[in-house]
Amino acid sequence: MKKIKPPHVYVGMVDPEVGRGVFAIRAFFKGELVEEAPVFILEEKYPDVPKEFKNRVFRWGMMTGTDAGIAIALGYGSIYNHSDRPNLIYEADDKNKILRFRARRAIDPDEQLTIHYRQENDGGLPDKEEWFQKEGIEKKEL
């Protein structure tokens, strides 16, 4: 059995409007593994997820090319905030049921760690972000 190593991150307050976020304890270099987050896979399909949870779950079936529903990431995986210019990239590992979060670029200590909620499977980012409006979720700028 593989041991889970705690990441070098902490949860802190971003600001009263955004709420909490995840921050780097130390510097990370581009491509470095920041966290391996185990996931729970649920059969529920994304359109059926309550609005309050849509920015906290991952479309596991879409990410892995399977007919699975959604995934809830443990650890810090479901706490990372969205940014149009994220410093993390994530990938699904269906065999081990984990999400890997890696540094998209060099990250400084105490910098907030962010992901793009609509990242493509290859790590690419969409040209235009309409997800928040489509889902009826208020977008907070970081």
93 is in which domain, residue-wise?
9-123
Over residues 42-77, the pLDDT tens digits come to: 988 887 888 888 788 999 998 999 989 999 999 999
Going by their DSSP bridges, the two strands 19-24 and 33-42 should be labelled as: unpaired
Contact 25, 109 (CB under 8 A): yes
Please state the pTM of the whole predicted model: 0.84
Does residue 111 belong to any structural domain of this protein?
yes
What total number of domains does the chain contain? Answer: 1
- How far apart CA 57 and CA 123 sit, in angstroms, is 17
| pLDDT confidence tier of residue 127, bands split at 50, 70 and 90 | low
Q: Residue 133 domain-assigned? A: no
